[in-house]
């Protein structure tokens, strides 16, 4: 299983927020900008004003990080992604976060062409 490469530097995150394309739904906002590295890096933001206390923010970040990790192989390489948790994510399950992330990736055209149909995984019979 591929590990999630984290986008950690403030300047890199600010670049994505300023220059990147975005898509929002009820659970998250995705900002994406190309990088010259040939790998996909991910940052997750959960603001206090939007989500409240630290327990809620940490849970939201864990949900989004896990959703990104599980679908990293489906994302085209060479992109920096910033996932911003929205208030609708509070109290939701991992599957909801995954569906919201895939919807955003699909709308921005960041999914690989040979993506597996819903419910099927590589090497499995479905």
Per DSSP, what are the bridge partners of residue 34? 79
Radius of gyration of the chain (CA): 14
90: three-class secondary structure by DSSP: coil
Q: For residues 71 and 91, what is the distance between their CA atoms, to the nearest angstrom?
A: 21
pLDDT band for 2, please (50, 70, 90 cuts): low
Q: For residues 126 and 108, what is the distance between their CA atoms, to the nearest angstrom?
A: 26
In eight-state DSSP terms, residue 12 is H
**Short-list 17, 6, 15, 3, CA closest to 84:** 17
pLDDT band for 126, please (50, 70, 90 cuts): very low
* CATH T-level fold of 5-108: Ribosomal Protein S5; domain 2 (3.30.230)
pTM of the model as a whole: 0.84
- What is the per-residue pLDDT across 7-57, written as a single tens digit (0 to 9) for each? 889 999 999 999 999 999 999 999 999 998 889 999 999 999 999 999 999
84: three-class secondary structure by DSSP: strand
- Domain residues of the chain, as ranges? 5-108
Percent of the chain topping pLDDT 70: 88
């Amino acid at each position: 299983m591929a590990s999630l490469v984290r986008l950690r530097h403030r300047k890199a995150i600010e670049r994505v927020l300023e220059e990147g394309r975005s898509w929002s739904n009820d659970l998250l906002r995705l900002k994406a900008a190309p990088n010259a590295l040939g790998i996909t890096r991910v940052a997750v933001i959960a603001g206090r004003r939007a989500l409240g206390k630290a327990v809620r923010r940490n849970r939201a970040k864990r949900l989004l990080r896990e959703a990104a990790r599980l679908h990293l192989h489906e994302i085209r390489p060479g992109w920096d992604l910033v996932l911003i948790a929205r208030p609708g994510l509070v109290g939701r399950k991992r599957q909801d976060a995954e569906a919201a992330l895939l919807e955003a990736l699909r709308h921005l055209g960041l999914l690989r062409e040979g993506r597996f149909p819903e419910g099927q995984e590589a090497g499995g019979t479905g």
